[in-house]
């Protein structure tokens, strides 16, 4: 890592060096103790694939030249039987993918060098333990031997000897295991383990490159939207040993608590162990910091000088990276070595706390803090937490590895988790320890429970990254994956039984436990206040009930961007009148029913407008096809017929006559206002009466925006606007404390194309990007789920266009309509009320094209505030 050419080109080169190699070079540059090594770049990974999964000759030459430098530097020889050099071969993608690719340690050991290692170290046990680890990793990763086979051999051997722990194994025992492992490699592959150390190294490098395309890595990239084309770098590094004796250890630490975000040094270690033991969750490690509970076992107590040194290291690294670090270290005979540092993965709550506290500490600016928290993480914070009653006693406790409450039936394998989740059944995946191959099952599960492994095991790290609740290292719980049972004292559970876990506390309960709404981290308000100061876009909510409106206000909504009036008819009283109105035989009868509906509807608007206290409220007139309000089953039709006093046959004929082939493109939206003007007139009367009444009772004027859906052109708009202005005039809006605007939804390509002329009659545009996506792409939002997954899998579409705006098509129409609307009526108010209004990537786009606000579901308001701020900060930086 000390090569000058690398040092000179370090900054910004982690796309080439990969995260691991880049950070090792940085640490070396900072003067920290890093075992020497070399990085094979991601460009070499591409060359490897282009050459048909081969290491081109010139690449091999470069590797050997660098290994020679390493040999010289350390006074050791690769394959030497006097002073053998052993190396680790590790993957290191530009974006961290913990545990998803492969690693091989102790490369360079063979039947001869192991003897030299045994003699030199005076510790044959260590030498043969290291050799069997190489055989195991190499056999599994490079030669394709079943991972399980090695575990079974070791298990049977220990059983025969009456051992329980690996630490009971002697040098001779490991020697026996080495022989058995070599045999299983031959049995399963027909080839012996390569004794030629050079062959070992090239095979290991190739295998790590190939692991870029293993199933779990692909799955992880898909999950976290990491590009397939990045490729991985490979780090070859001189081995240091944490398993040479009691003056050795290995550990993982975080510069702050990754679960809560508290500014405390947080980590775990294992005395006399090799690195992978901690992260793979094979043994449950000990804490780094001293507490009353550690009783002399913490790293701080057992190795105080090194603990102090490690504290200094973490301070240096956190200052350098200005972010929380996840550090791997090894102690070899009382000397500290750093094997890795990277930006630490953290829970959603921790990301908020860390960002805010780092800004307070002046380590970062408030703008940087705002950009540190992923808007999606805020949605995770909205998850409910457990509220156990006094009789709900946990039967066991593990480590609170990833926060959140989760409940479901017990399953014991990833496959089972996936199968049950497909059936829509909620599951908790229980494993003794999780291996990276479990990732698909972890994604399918509500929560994860392990009996081994610590807070830094892969299970914990990956779960935190996915926002999936996890309790790890619940050592009093015996999980038997073969028998599919979970036992703990008198508790005896089997697959299919209900279980609840609490990732906040680590508690585990039998059965289902009540939940309470999420408790948001204290620091969130401050972070959002910084976001509010940085953003330009206003954030509104889509809400129509008093409950939703209160939620929206609580989360900081600055208005209602879409009040879907159809949702107000969902209560029984109004629904009955609505049905009677739709099925009325003639105009007079319809008008009579509408008169009865009006006061009820007016009350809905009074509630919402009062709660909003003068903040803008956009009320949209009726939109869905009328048959959506009518019953479809025989039983429901019979009941309705009884209520209306008509016979069922006549009623069902009438209902069928309202059926349409393509209702979404049919008799809906403002077309209802054209064919049933009385409905819109009733709504307008109710809205204006409500607004005038509220205006008398609140301090500020009522900012009322009435909106027409599914407009296609000017002629239609003029007719409908007249219904509204007539009603407003009759009510006496003019000169009152009601500030009325009449606008339209731009949700059809026709409206976008005619936006210039529509702006002459409309006070505002609200882009209905749901319908606009549907009609621009000719894609039904109700049926797209049948084929969109195939498009995603075949990479024909980067994202679901209903979730994230398709910039070149739907986005282009929005951009164009906004520009022509603005040209015709400068300053015309422009907003978005489709689902995209709550999607961070779409918000970024809406910010760049100069819209005034986005409107989204109440629970997404905090995320939208943050995303809008990030968009503005990003735009400021790029200018």
Residues designated as active site = 458, 833
Eight-class DSSP state of 662: S
Alpha carbons 820 and 753: distance in angstroms, whole number: 9
Q: Kindly tell me which of 328 and 747 has the beta carbon lying closer to Mg ion.
A: 747
Region 504-563 residues binding ligand PEP, contact defined as CB under 6 A = 562
Task: Choose, by CB under 6 A, the member of 469, 768, 840, 862 that binds ligand PEP.
Answer: 768
**In angstroms, what CA-CA distances link 698 with 109, 210, 612, 688?**
81, 67, 10, 15
3-state DSSP assignment of residue 738 = strand
Stretch that binds Mg ion, among 83-91, 146-154, 379-387, 745-753 (CB under 5 A): 745-753
673 interacts with ligand PEP by CB under 6 A: no
Alpha carbons 814 and 747: distance in angstroms, whole number: 9
Task: Indicate the burial class of 657 (C-beta count within 10 angstroms; 0-12, 13-18, 19 or more).
Answer: exposed
Residue with tokens 């219904």: 723
Eight-class DSSP state of 283: S
Q: How far is the CB of 809 from Mg ion (least distance, A)?
A: 17
771 interacts with Mg ion by CB under 5 A: yes
771 interacts with ligand PEP by CB under 6 A: yes
Q: How far is the CB of 566 from Mg ion (least distance, A)?
A: 11
747 interacts with Mg ion by CB under 5 A: yes
623 interacts with ligand PEP by CB under 6 A: yes
Contact string (CB under 6 A) for ligand PEP, positions 288-327, x = contact: ----------------------------------------
Residue 474, binding choice from Mg ion, ligand PEP, none, Cβ under 5 to 8 Å by partner class? none
Long-range contacts of 759-763 (CB under 8 A, 24+ apart): 759/820, 759/821, 759/822, 759/824, 759/825, 759/828, 760/714, 760/824, 760/825, 761/714, 761/717, 761/718, 761/721, 762/717, 762/821, 762/828, 763/705, 763/828, 763/829
271 interacts with ligand PEP by CB under 6 A: no
**Interface with Mg ion: number of residues (CB under 5 A):** 3
Region 173-232 residues binding ligand PEP, contact defined as CB under 6 A = none
Q: How far is the CB of 824 from ligand PEP (least distance, A)?
A: 22
834 interacts with ligand PEP by CB under 6 A: yes
625 interacts with ligand PEP by CB under 6 A: no
Q: Which helix (H) or strand (E) holds 129?
A: helix 124-137
Give every CB contact of residue 357 below 8 A, 6+ residues apart in sequence: 261, 263, 523
**E strand residue ranges, 176-334:** 233-238, 249-254, 266-271, 286-287, 325-332
79 interacts with Mg ion by CB under 5 A: no
Residue 813, binding choice from Mg ion, ligand PEP, none, Cβ under 5 to 8 Å by partner class? none
Stretch that binds ligand PEP, among 24-32, 105-113, 449-457, 767-775 (CB under 6 A): 767-775
Q: How far is the CB of 154 from ligand PEP (least distance, A)?
A: 58
Stretch that binds ligand PEP, among 21-29, 525-533, 639-647, 766-774 (CB under 6 A): 766-774
Q: Kindly tell me which of 493 and 751 has the beta carbon lying closer to ligand PEP.
A: 751
Alpha carbons 365 and 253: distance in angstroms, whole number: 25
Stretch that binds Mg ion, among 1-9, 64-72, 611-619, 760-768 (CB under 5 A): 760-768
> Number of C-alpha atoms within 13 angstroms, CB side, residue 469?
25
Alpha carbons 670 and 712: distance in angstroms, whole number: 9
Task: Choose, by CB under 6 A, the member of 123, 451, 769, 844 that binds ligand PEP.
Answer: 769
Q: How far is the CB of 873 from ligand PEP (least distance, A)?
A: 27
Task: Choose, by CB under 6 A, the member of 213, 218, 320, 564 that binds ligand PEP.
Answer: 564
833 interacts with ligand PEP by CB under 6 A: yes
Residue 562, binding choice from Mg ion, ligand PEP, none, Cβ under 5 to 8 Å by partner class? ligand PEP
Contact string (CB under 5 A) for Mg ion, positions 561-600, x = contact: ----------------------------------------
Q: How far is the CB of 745 from Mg ion (least distance, A)?
A: 6
Give every CB contact of residue 758 below 8 A, 6+ residues apart in sequence: 711, 713, 714, 717, 744, 746, 751, 765, 821
Q: How far is the CB of 851 from Mg ion (least distance, A)?
A: 17
Strands 470-472 and 447-450: parallel
Q: How far is the CB of 562 from ligand PEP (least distance, A)?
A: 6
**For residues 828, 832, 838 and 839, what is the CA-based torsion angle, rounded to 10 degrees?**
-100
Strands 335-343 and 385-386: unpaired
Q: Which residues bind ligand PEP (CB under 6 A)?
A: 562, 564, 623, 747, 768-771, 833-834
Q: Which residues bind Mg ion (CB under 5 A)?
A: 747, 768, 771
């Amino acid at each position: 890592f000390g090569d000058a050419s690398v040092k000179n080109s370090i900054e910004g080169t982690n796309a080439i060096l990969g995260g691991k190699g880049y950070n090792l070079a940085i640490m070396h540059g900072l003067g920290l103790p890093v075992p020497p090594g070399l990085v094979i770049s991601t460009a070499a990974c591409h060359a490897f694939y282009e050459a048909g999964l081969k290491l081109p000759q010139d690449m091999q030459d470069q590797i050997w030249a660098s290994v020679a430098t390493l040999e010289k530097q350390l006074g050791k020889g690769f394959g030497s039987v006097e002073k053998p050099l052993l190396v680790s071969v590790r993957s290191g993608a530009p974006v961290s993918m913990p545990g998803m690719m492969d690693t091989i340690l102790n490369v360079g050991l063979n039947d001869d060098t192991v003897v030299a290692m045994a003699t030199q170290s005076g510790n044959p046990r260590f030498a043969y333990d290291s050799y069997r680890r190489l055989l195991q990793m190499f056999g599994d990763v490079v030669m394709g031997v079943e991972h399980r086979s090695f575990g079974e051999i070791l298990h049977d051997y220990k059983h025969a000897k009456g051992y329980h722990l690996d630490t009971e194994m002697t040098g001779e025992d490991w020697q026996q295991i080495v022989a058995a492992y070599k045999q299983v490699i031959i049995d399963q592959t027909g080839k012996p383990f390569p004794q030629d150390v050079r062959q070992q190294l090239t095979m290991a490098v190739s295998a790590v490159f190939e692991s870029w395309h293993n199933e779990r890595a692909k799955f992880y990239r898909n999950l976290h939207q990491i590009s397939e084309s990045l490729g991985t770098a490979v780090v070859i590094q001189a081995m240091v040993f944490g398993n040479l004796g009691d003056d050795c250890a290995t550990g993982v630490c975080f510069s702050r608590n990754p679960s809560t975000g508290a500014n405390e040094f947080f980590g775990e270690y294992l005395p006399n162990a090799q690195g992978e033991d901690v992260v793979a969750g094979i043994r449950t490690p000990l804490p780094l910091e001293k507490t009353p509970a550690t009783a002399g076992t913490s790293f701080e107590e057992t190795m105080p000088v090194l603990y102090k040194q490690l504290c200094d290291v973490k301070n240096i690294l956190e200052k350098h990276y200005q972010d929380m670090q996840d550090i791997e270290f090894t102690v070899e005979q009382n000397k500290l070595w750093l094997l890795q540092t990277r930006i630490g993965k953290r829970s959603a709550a921790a990301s908020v706390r860390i960002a805010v506290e780092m800004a307070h500490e002046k380590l970062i600016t408030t703008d940087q803090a705002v950009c540190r928290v992923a808007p999606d993480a805020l949605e995770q914070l909205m998850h409910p937490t457990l509220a156990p009653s006094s009789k709900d006693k946990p039967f066991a406790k593990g480590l609170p590895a990833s926060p959140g409450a989760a409940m479901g039936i017990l399953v014991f394998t990833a496959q089972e988790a996936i199968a049950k989740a497909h059936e829509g059944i909620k599951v908790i995946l229980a494993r003794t320890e999780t291996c990276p191959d479990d990732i698909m099952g972890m994604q399918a599960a509500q929560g994860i429970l392990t009996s081994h492994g610590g807070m830094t095991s892969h299970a914990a790290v990956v779960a935190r990254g996915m926002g999936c609740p996890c309790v790890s290292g619940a050592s009093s719980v015996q999980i038997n994956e073969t028998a599919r049972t979970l036992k703990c004292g008198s508790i005896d559970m089997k697959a299919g039984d209900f279980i609840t876990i609490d990732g906040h506390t680590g508690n585990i309960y039998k059965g289902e436990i009540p939940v309470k709404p999420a408790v948001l981290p204290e620091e969130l308000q401050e972070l959002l206040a910084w976001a509010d100061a940085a953003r330009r876009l206003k954030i509104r909510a889509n809400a129509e009930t008093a409950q939703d409106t209160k939620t929206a206000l609580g989360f900081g909504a600055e208005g209602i961007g879409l009040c879907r009036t159809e949702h107000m008819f969902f209560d029984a009283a109004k629904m009955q009148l609505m049905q009677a109105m739709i099925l009325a035989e003639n105009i007079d009868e319809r008008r009579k029913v509408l008169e009865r509906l009006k006061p009820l509807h007016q009350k809905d608007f009074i509630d919402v407008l009062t709660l909003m206290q003068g903040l803008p409220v956009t009320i949209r007139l009726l939109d869905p096809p009328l048959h959506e309000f009518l019953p479809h089953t025989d039983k429901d039709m019979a009941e309705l017929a009884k209520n209306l006093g008509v016979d069922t046959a006549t009623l069902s004929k009438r209902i069928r006559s309202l059926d349409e082939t393509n209702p979404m493109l049919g008799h809906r939206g403002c077309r209802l206002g054209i064919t049933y003007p009385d409905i819109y007139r009733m709504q307008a009367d109710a809205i204006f009466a409500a607004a005038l009444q509220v205006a008398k009772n609140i301090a500020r004027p009522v900012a009322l925006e009435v909106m027409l859906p599914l407009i296609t052109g000017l002629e239609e708009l003029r007719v409908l606007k007249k219904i509204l202005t007539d009603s407003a005039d009759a009510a006496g809006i003019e000169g009152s404390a009601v500030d009325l605007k009449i606008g339209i939804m731009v949700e059809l390509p026709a409206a976008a194309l005619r936006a210039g002329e529509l702006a002459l009659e409309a006070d505002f545009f609200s882009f209905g990007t749901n319908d606009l996506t549907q009609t621009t792409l000719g894609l039904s939002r109700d049926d797209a789920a049948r084929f969109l997954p195939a498009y995603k899998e075949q990479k024909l579409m980067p994202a679901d266009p209903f979730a994230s705006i398709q910039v070149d098509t739907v986005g282009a129409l929005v951009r164009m309509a906004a520009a022509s609307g603005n040209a015709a009526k400068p300053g015309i108010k422009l907003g978005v009320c489709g689902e995209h209004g709550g999607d961070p990537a779409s918000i970024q786009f809406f910010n760049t094209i100069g819209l005034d606000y986005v409107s989204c579901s109440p629970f997404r308001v905090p995320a939208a505030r943050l995303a809008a701020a990030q968009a503005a900060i990003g735009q400021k930086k790029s200018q």
